């Protein structure tokens, strides 16, 4: 999804902007651009390309890239096709202003018509160009300063935005503003940095400000940061210290971020549980649960809302909470929930799960739930993200930045937090036996080691994956706790290898997908040794009878399903409720290797964005 970078200070802005854009590449984009106020001519120069940021570097040889103030952007098309004209920054009619924007201006058509009547011509199909012309119109027609023009323009705008604007008649200033789209300002020594997240900023400073919705920040050379609201009331920005380091966002010797992130999982889970798991005391403590225990214990019902991989984690969360806390749980896609007639209100606890903490549908669903009186609990990875701020309380998963577009370590982190949430609540509610709790806690404690064992299957999976590059379809089957794992395995494969894959509850296969099975069809069965093993066995036999090619994920020492399957991956045993934390790993690895064998862009698959900040 769109990425914004900006710089103002005494260094050359261009290299900082390009490096920043590269750090944001993981978000997914289709075109890129940069605007600089030239040191040589004092003019505003804008350079844009369709395609990769590296295309912008070609400009270096022939253009004026001087300047100590600039803004840059990676675009993910919403209004208008991906092309150079639609790429940001957009220039205003006067030629004075350049603007980058992330979000959607919902009333752009109405505003565009108004501006056209005033004689404004539009080059692109974007909503962003409307915004820059509107600011231009306010400024030129009212003879206003830049800040006032931005403020008045934003008062007319309906929609979501994170934006940065520069003006060649104000060469010492960048104005930024945000509403419902992410933006961070980094504060250095007499310089400022801007980023859609902290990754373009982190190597220069750890001092940051996250502007709130409806706030405008004025970044002026040699002056302190100034923040105002849309009515020009001065605000006191809260400066925070980032706890992210550069190593966390670089590949660390792996060929792809995705593989690095898959292999980081044992450590991530350890970080996620640190300080929360107290095996000897037979306790797991998520402080947010303890702080709000009355609300949570007395909840009529939980509603989990999320999108994509986070939604799959939610399906596992449902089983954990119903199993151990005996509270009814429903799981909804945030995008459906926000427009559905779901009955929600006081007494409901909504759990919003999001890796990025910026997913627009999830954010909107949270606002709706809050309006209706529900108590909202967030499970996020990105610290300080919009969702973590919009919820009443919550828990971070603490797995570090996830760069690969296909989510891996965030999924296992989310499931781990959901397990800890269910166990904390079950203990305060008294719905779990001490021995059961102790058994699960002991398993959680050794889980990082078991994950390492699961990762040892990597080489076997790499060679196995090569066989299946021929496939155009895959079926993934699982039951109980492993049913969402089957869905997640299928999603991973689709996302990065572009092979069509369906995840199904194994027993439901006979009501449709069984018709697809023939000797060409790979069927991945998640068949670890748990209470549904015998049931799954008959489903596996049904696939075998139709000559499907079975890849079974089994427990160490399995002797039955492994005899029937064509290929087997063995995993350490654990308690049933924690199975997904292990069974997910071979499916992540298989999707990864198939995509690599097929020569696909694993970290930035086509058409996908890491952080989906539009509806
Ligand atoms: C995008 C990403 C997925 C992610 C989903 C939800 O589609 O590509 O990997 O699962 O958004 O994102 P969130 O940040 O809310 O977990």
Ligand 1 atom with least separation from CA of 306: 15
How far is 188 from 242, CA to CA, in rounded Å? Answer: 13
CA of 472 to the centre of ligand 1 (A): 24
Q: Is 588 in the pocket of ligand 1 (CB under 6 A)?
A: no
Q: Is 409 in the pocket of ligand 1 (CB under 6 A)?
A: no
> Among residues 211, 93, 109, which one has the least CA distance to residue 163?
211
Q: Is 381 in the pocket of ligand 1 (CB under 6 A)?
A: no
How far is 38 from 95, CA to CA, in rounded Å? Answer: 14
Q: Is 407 in the pocket of ligand 1 (CB under 6 A)?
A: yes
User: Helix, strand, coil: what percent of the chain each, to 5?
Assistant: 40, 25, 35
- When the pLDDT of each residue in the chain is averaged and rounded to a whole number, the result is 93
pLDDT, one tens digit per residue, over 136-158 is 999 999 999 999 999 999 999 98
pLDDT, one tens digit per residue, over 467-525 is 999 999 999 999 999 999 999 999 999 999 999 999 999 999 989 989 999 999 999 99
pLDDT at residue number 264: 94
Contact 244, 205 (CB under 8 A): no
With pLDDT > 90 as the criterion, what percentage of the chain qualifies?
Answer: 81
How far is 32 from 331, CA to CA, in rounded Å? Answer: 37
Give the DSSP letter string of 452-479.
Answer: HHHHTTHHHHHHHHHHGGG-SEEEEEE-
pLDDT at residue number 1: 65
CA of 145 to the centre of ligand 1 (A): 40
Ligand 1 atom with least separation from CA of 414: 16
Torsion of CA 58, 60, 63, 65, to 10 degrees: 140
Average pLDDT over residues 114-119: 96
pLDDT at 245 over 80: no
pLDDT at residue number 217: 98
Ligand 1 atom with least separation from CA of 608: 8
Contact 435, 233 (CB under 8 A): no
Q: For residue 229, which phi and psi values (nearest 5 degrees)? A: -95, -175
pLDDT at 351 over 70: yes
Average pLDDT over residues 194-213: 93
Nearest CA to ligand 1 atom 5: 308
Tokens for 589, please give them. Answer: 């690895």
CA of 519 to the centre of ligand 1 (A): 34
| Secondary structure string (H, E, C) spanning 305-352 | EECHHHHHHHHHHHHHHHHHHCCCEEEEEHHHHCCCCCCCCCCEEEEE
Helix extents (H) in 50-170: 54-57, 108-117, 127-142, 146-156
> Among residues 181, 178, 124, which one has the least CA distance to residue 1?
181
Indicate the top mutation candidate among 307, 338, 358, 361 to test ligand 1's pocket, ranked by most ligand atoms within 8 A of CB: 307
pLDDT, one tens digit per residue, over 544-591 is 999 999 999 999 999 999 999 999 999 999 999 999 999 999 999 999
pLDDT at residue number 141: 95
Cis ω on the peptide bond leading into residue 530 (within 30° of 0)?
Answer: no
Measured CA angle at 585 (ends 581, 587), to 5 deg: 120
Tokens for 275, please give them. Answer: 């300080």
Tokens for 30, please give them. Answer: 């289709």
pLDDT, one tens digit per residue, over 61-111 is 678 899 999 999 999 777 777 889 999 999 999 999 999 999 888 899 999
Q: In the structure, what pLDDT confidence band is assigned to residue 60 with cuts at 50, 70 and 90?
A: low
Average pLDDT over residues 414-439: 97
> Among residues 103, 93, 142, 97, which one has the least CA distance to residue 126?
103
Contact 218, 145 (CB under 8 A): no
Q: Give Cα 193 distance to the centre of its chain.
A: 22
Indicate the top mutation candidate among 308, 317, 591 to test ligand 1's pocket, ranked by most ligand atoms within 8 A of CB: 308
Indicate the top mutation candidate among 25, 29, 258, 309 to test ligand 1's pocket, ranked by most ligand atoms within 8 A of CB: 309
Ligand 1 atom with least separation from CA of 407: 9
Tokens for 579, please give them. Answer: 């199975």
Contact 475, 441 (CB under 8 A): no
Tell me the catalytic residues.
Answer: 2, 610
21-35, 82-96, 440-454 — which is least confidently predicted? Answer: 21-35
pLDDT, one tens digit per residue, over 295-312 is 998 999 999 999 999 999
CA of 11 to the centre of ligand 1 (A): 35
pLDDT, one tens digit per residue, over 378-412 is 999 987 788 999 999 999 998 888 989 999 999 99
Q: Is 356 in the pocket of ligand 1 (CB under 6 A)?
A: yes
Q: Which residue has the higher pLDDT, 222 or 377?
A: 377
- Which residues neighbour 470 within 8 Å (Cβ) at sequence distance 6 or greater? none
With pLDDT > 70 as the criterion, what percentage of the chain qualifies?
Answer: 99
How far is 333 from 377, CA to CA, in rounded Å? Answer: 16
Burial class (CB in 10 A: 0-12, 13-18, 19+), 197: buried
pLDDT, one tens digit per residue, over 255-278 is 999 999 999 999 999 989 988 999
Q: Residue 551 gets which letter from DSSP?
A: E
Residue with tokens 């499931």: 415
How far is 93 from 389, CA to CA, in rounded Å? Answer: 37
Distances (CA, A) of 468 to 326, 495, 519, 549: 42, 16, 13, 10
Tokens for 590, please give them. Answer: 């298989």
Rounded to the nearest 10 degrees, the angle between the axes of helix 409-429 and helix 579-597 is 170
Kindly state the helix (H) or strand (E) to which residue 8 belongs, with its residue range.
Answer: strand 3-8
Q: For residue 601, which phi and psi values (nearest 5 degrees)? A: -80, 90
How far is 591 from 471, CA to CA, in rounded Å? Answer: 12
Radius of gyration over every alpha carbon of the chain, rounded to an integer in angstroms: 26
How far is 309 from 591, CA to CA, in rounded Å? Answer: 14
How far is 478 from 503, CA to CA, in rounded Å? Answer: 8
Conformational region of residue 537, where left means phi above 0, alpha means psi within -120 to 50, and beta covers everything else: alpha
Residue with tokens 């590449």: 25
CA of 261 to the centre of ligand 1 (A): 15
pLDDT at residue number 407: 97
Task: State pTM to two decimals.
Answer: 0.77
């Amino acid at each position: 999804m769109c990425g914004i970078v900006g710089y103002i200070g005494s260094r050359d802005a261009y290299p900082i902007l390009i490096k920043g854009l590269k750090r944001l590449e993981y978000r997914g984009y289709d075109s890129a651009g940069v605007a600089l106020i030239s040191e040589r001519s004092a003019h505003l120069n804008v350079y844009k390309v369709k395609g990769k940021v590296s295309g912008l570097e070609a400009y270096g040889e022939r253009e004026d890239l001087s300047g100590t103030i600039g803004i840059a952007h990676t675009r993910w098309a919403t209004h208008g096709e991906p092309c150079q004209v639609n790429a940001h920054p957009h220039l205003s009619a006067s030629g004075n202003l350049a603007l980058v924007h992330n979000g959607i201006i919902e009333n752009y058509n109405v505003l565009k018509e108004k501006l056209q009547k005033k004689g404004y011509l539009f080059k692109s199909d974007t909503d962003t160009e409307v915004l820059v012309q509107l600011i231009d119109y306010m400024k030129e027609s009212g003879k206003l300063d830049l800040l006032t023009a931005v403020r008045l323009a934003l008062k007319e705008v309906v929609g979501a935005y994170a934006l940065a604007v520069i003006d060649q008649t104000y060469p010492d200033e960048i104005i930024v503003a945000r509403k419902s789209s992410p933006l961070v300002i980094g504060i250095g020594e007499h310089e400022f940095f801007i980023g859609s997240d902290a990754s373009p900023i982190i190597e220069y400073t750890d001092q940051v400000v996250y502007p709130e919705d409806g706030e405008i920040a004025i970044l002026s050379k040699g002056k302190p940061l100034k923040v105002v609201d849309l009515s020009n009331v001065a605000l006191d920005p809260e400066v925070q210290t980032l706890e992210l380091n550069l190593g966390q966002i670089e590949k660390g010797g792996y060929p792809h971020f995705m593989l690095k992130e898959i292999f980081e999982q044992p450590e991530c889970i350890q970080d996620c549980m640190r300080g929360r798991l107290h095996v000897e005391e037979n306790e797991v403590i998520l402080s947010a649960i303890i702080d709000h225990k009355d609300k949570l214990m007395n909840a009529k019902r939980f509603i989990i809302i999320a999108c994509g991989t986070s939604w799959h984690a939610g399906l596992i969360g449902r089983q954990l909470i119903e199993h151990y806390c005996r509270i009814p749980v429903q799981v909804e896609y945030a995008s459906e929930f926000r427009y559905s007639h779901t009955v929600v209100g006081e007494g409901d606890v909504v759990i919003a799960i999001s890796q990025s903490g910026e997913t627009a549908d999830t954010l909107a669903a949270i606002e709706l739930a809050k309006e209706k009186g529900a108590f909202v609990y967030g499970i996020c990875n990105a610290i300080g993200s919009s969702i973590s701020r919009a919820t009443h309380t919550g828990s971070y998963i603490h797995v570090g930045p996830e760069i690969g577009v296909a989510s891996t370590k965030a999924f296992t982190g989310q499931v781990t937090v959901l397990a800890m949430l269910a166990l904390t609540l079950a203990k305060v509610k008294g719905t779990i036996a001490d021995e059961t709790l102790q058994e699960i806690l002991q398993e959680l404690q050794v889980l990082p080691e078991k994950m390492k064992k699961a990762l040892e299957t990597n080489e076997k999976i790499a060679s196995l994956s090569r066989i299946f590059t021929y496939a155009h379809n895959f079926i993934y089957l699982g039951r109980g706790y492993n049913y969402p794992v089957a869905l997640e395995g299928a999603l991973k494969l689709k996302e990065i290898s572009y092979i069509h894959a369906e995840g199904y509850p194994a027993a439901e296969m006979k009501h449709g997908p069984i018709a697809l099975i023939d000797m060409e069809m790979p069927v991945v069965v998640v068949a670890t040794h748990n209470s549904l093993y015998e049931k799954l066995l008959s489903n596996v036999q049904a696939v075998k009878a139709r000559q499907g090619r079975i890849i079974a994920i089994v427990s160490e020492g399995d002797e039955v399903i492994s005899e029937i399957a064509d290929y087997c991956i063995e995993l350490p045993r654990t308690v049933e409720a924690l199975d997904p934390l292990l069974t997910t790993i071979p499916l992540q690895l298989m999707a990864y290797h198939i995509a690599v064998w097929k020569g696909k862009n694993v970290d930035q698959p086509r058409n996908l964005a890491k952080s989906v900040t539009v509806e």
